[in-house]
């Protein structure tokens, strides 16, 4: 079985992750590099592991999480679809079985809120992991005076934790926002579509999604 470590050590994957971030830097987007994909990879695996899914599904979720944004090296537009095809072909060359690489392709192709939805356990875990990574560390722009709304909202998030409660079948996103930098309403204005997508992803896994901002339950 192809593992996450095999994927991380693949030179083609490394080049695509670096290329994706290079292009997004020039466009002024938030960070989507090794930091982000590593967090998403771990969280996607943790979700399925905590819910009792088999080890092979957990590993596929980790791989999907690590590869999910490589399409950004082609174009930000439709990056989920182009990334899914790139990942499929890379994993084929690495010798992954057709069934496994198809599962990863499906998950990556459905992780963006504009065109995707949860279609499998792996895709649901990927969506929840990806949409939960909101943090000031993702802000590439160092000039606060030129922040757009996305920069300001991400920079205002000083802490974000994704907590899986297996016993109560809940997944909880706890966020701390510095309201002197950004009102909570701005978070919803930007991320409401992502939260709705995450809610349906949780439902696919037969769990509840809770959103807690500054110790107040909002979802």
What pLDDT is attached to residue 14? 97
- The pair phi, psi for residue 177, each rounded to 5°, is -115, 130
CA 216 to chain centre: 24
Q: How far is CA 170 from CA 57, 163, 219, in A?
A: 20, 8, 12
What is the rounded distance in angstroms from the CA atom of residue 118 to the CA atom of residue 120?
Answer: 6
The yes-or-no verdict on residue 143 having pLDDT over 80 is no
What pLDDT is attached to residue 29? 82
Q: Which CATH number fits domain 4-217: 3.30.310, 1.10.3210, 3.40.50, 3.30.70?
A: 1.10.3210
With contact defined as beta carbons under 8 Å apart, do 183 and 203 qualify?
no
Q: How confident is the model at residue 161 (pLDDT cuts 50, 70, 90)?
A: very high
Q: How far is CA 77 from CA 23, 27, 56, 73, 74, in A?
A: 12, 12, 31, 10, 9
Q: Where are the domains of the chain?
A: 4-217
Q: Each residue of 62-73: b (16+ CB within 10 Å) or e?
A: bbbbbbbbbbbb
| Mean pLDDT across 144-170 | 87
């Amino acid at each position: 079985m192809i593992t996450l470590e095999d994927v991380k050590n693949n030179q083609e994957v490394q080049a695509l992750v670096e290329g994706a971030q290079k292009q997004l830097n020039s466009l002024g987007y938030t960070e989507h590099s090794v930091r982000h994909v590593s967090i998403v990879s771990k969280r996607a695996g943790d979700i399925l592991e905590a819910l009792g899914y088999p080890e092979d599904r957990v590993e596929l979720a980790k791989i999907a999480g690590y590869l999910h944004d490589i399409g950004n090296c082609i174009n930000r537009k439709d990056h989920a679809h182009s990334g899914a095809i790139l990942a499929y072909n890379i994993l084929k060359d690495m010798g992954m079985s057709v069934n496994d690489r198809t599962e990863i392709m499906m998950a990556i192709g459905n992780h963006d809120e504009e065109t995707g939805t949860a279609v499998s356990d792996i895709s649901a875990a990927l969506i929840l992991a990806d949409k939960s990574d909101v943090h000031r560390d993702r802000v590439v722009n160092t000039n606060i005076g030129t922040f757009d709304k996305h920069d300001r909202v991400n920079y205002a998030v000083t802490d974000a934790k994704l907590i899986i409660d297996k016993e109560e079948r809940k997944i909880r996103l706890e966020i701390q926002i510095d309201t002197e930098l950004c009102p909570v309403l701005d978070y919803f204005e930007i991320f409401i579509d992502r939260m709705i997508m995450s809610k349906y992803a949780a439902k696919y896994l037969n769990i509840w999604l809770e959103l807690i901002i500054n110790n107040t339950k909002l979802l």
